[in-house]
Homo-oligomer: A and B are copies of this chain.
Amino acid sequence: MSNFIFQNGTKIYFGENQLNNLAKEIKVYGTKVLLCYGGGSIKKIGLYDKVIAELKSGDIEVYELSGIEPNPRHTTVNKGAKLCKQNKVDLILAVGGGSTIDCAKAIAAAANYDGDAWDLVIHKAEVTKVLPIISILTLSATGSEMDAWSVISNMDTHEKYGFNHKDMLPKVSFLDPTNTYSVSAYQTASGSADILSHIFDSKYFTLKPKLEMIDMVMELLIKTVIKFAPIAIKEPNNYEARANLMWASSWALNGFINCGINHATSCHAMEHELSAYYDITHGHGLAILTPRWLEYVLNNETAPVIYKFGKNCFGIKDGLSEIDGAKASIKKLSDFLFNELGLASRLSDLNIDETHFKAMANNACKAKGGVIDGFVKLTPEDVENIYKMCL
């Protein structure tokens, strides 16, 4: 069992009608806000108007950056940072899903840096000072509302990397399940696959010893997604389903389920290349990759871990051989992702062919120091093979 450090100071307002606390929380940090959001869905659901009304009621000066992309670009980060510098903004308010919050974090870091924000992403320059961040979440998926990471894409170089700094952790996040009622079936499914992957990748699927209590928490989070994602897809306005998915998405990545297993994230590393080259939905890429990855790494050593997952999360029966049990577990996961959640199961469904697989596999491994050292070590050749299994 490994040692670990836990710390997460984000203040969470969970539930309906908590926005009346927004102005009060902002004023702890200042009165000039950069409001960041995406394509305008927050206007459709009326959230934009509510936020503006709250900000006005608190005499808060608002600057806006809209149009943040689903895989946020470093160029957008630069635009936001410029707005902060020009207007001497005190804090960033992100209203949206993980992409908007990730972009806000990068802006918060870049607002105190004179060069290209991309330098910070690739560690050419170090993050020093970060503006405070407050988020209002509208999509249960990335966990960005309660972690210190930001994933930014550079479409010129086909690169997508995560970077972090302790002060990039949001100070306050508002989690109102009703703000996710309008999330489409497709985005709900992709977000749910993302939550699962945060639990699987680098934490649940491991050959290292785990703290049993945390292992059980991971399994119940997986079961929470398995139960409530299909309900949220069928009944988008089901508060209970949206609430369980929302808090599970935060728990998957806020450190509660860490217990010192700090190996590389295999599927996330492979997916970042897919998004960097093809700009696909992150969670959908993860859904396609995950069962193939498990199939690829299946061996006598990994089989018991995979079979245990199937037994405890999907009720796969006891008494099979470890390998057969693991295969049945992977099959069940595929059924869940591709049939129950309805996600297209192949990269070819997303018009992706093998043109860039070699380059993508090399990049994925390069970003992790040559080899992805996760559940099982993956070389560029392994990664290319897994991509091919997804065609």
Q: Across the interface, which residues of B come within 8 angstroms of A256, CB to CB?
A: 256
Q: Across the interface, which residues of B come within 8 angstroms of A11, CB to CB?
A: 5-7
A16 closest partner in B (C-beta): B3
Interface residue from B2, B213, B224 paired with A244 (Cβ < 8 Å) = B213
Q: Does A182 contact B (CB under 8 A)?
A: no
CB distance from A158 to the nearest CB of B (A): 38
Looking at A60-68, A215-223, A302-310, the stretch in contact with chain B turns out to be A215-223
Q: How far is the CA of A221 from the CA of B211 in the complex (A)?
A: 12
A258 closest partner in B (C-beta): B14
A 6-28 contacts with B by CB, 8 A: 6-18
Q: Across the interface, which residues of B come within 8 angstroms of A16, CB to CB?
A: 3
Q: Does A243 contact B (CB under 8 A)?
A: yes
| Residue pair A14, B10 in contact (C-beta under 8 Å) | no
In the complex where A7-B10, A240-B1, A243-B1 touch, is A15 in contact with B213 (Cβ < 8 A)?
no
A221 closest partner in B (C-beta): B213
A 223-280 contacts with B by CB, 8 A: 223-224, 227-228, 239-240, 243-244, 247-248, 251, 256, 259-260
CB distance from A313 to the nearest CB of B (A): 12
In the complex where A1-B240, A212-B240 touch, is A14 in contact with B9 (Cβ < 8 A)?
no
Q: Give the secondary structure class of A's interface.
A: mixed
- List the number of copies, as a whole number: 2
Q: Across the interface, which residues of B come within 8 angstroms of A213, CB to CB?
A: 220-221, 224, 244, 247-248, 251
In the complex where A4-B14, A256-B256, A260-B15 touch, is A217 in contact with B217 (Cβ < 8 A)?
yes
A9 closest partner in B (C-beta): B9
Highest count of chain B CB atoms <10 Å: which of A7, A213, A259 = A213
CB distance from A19 to the nearest CB of B (A): 12
In the complex where A1-B239, A211-B244 touch, is A224 in contact with B216 (Cβ < 8 A)?
yes
A227 closest partner in B (C-beta): B212
Q: How far is the CA of A239 from the CA of B3 in the complex (A)?
A: 12
Can you identify 30 A-B contacts, CB atoms within 8 angstroms? A1-B15, A1-B240, A1-B243, A3-B13, A3-B15, A3-B17, A3-B18, A4-B12, A4-B14, A4-B15, A6-B12, A7-B11, A7-B12, A8-B8, A9-B9, A14-B259, A14-B260, A15-B260, A211-B247, A212-B224, A212-B244, A213-B220, A213-B224, A213-B247, A214-B247, A216-B220, A216-B223, A216-B224, A217-B220, A220-B220
By a beta-carbon cutoff of 8 Å, the part of chain A in contact with chain B is 1-18, 211-214, 216-217, 220-221, 223-224, 227-228, 239-240, 243-244, 247-248, 251, 256, 259-260
- 5 shortest interchain CB distances as A-B pairs: A3-B15, A9-B9, A7-B11, A6-B12, A216-B220
What would 16 more interface pairs be, CB under 8 Å, given A7-B10, A217-B220?
A3-B14, A3-B16, A3-B18, A4-B12, A5-B12, A7-B9, A7-B11, A9-B9, A211-B244, A211-B247, A212-B228, A213-B221, A216-B220, A216-B224, A217-B217, A220-B220
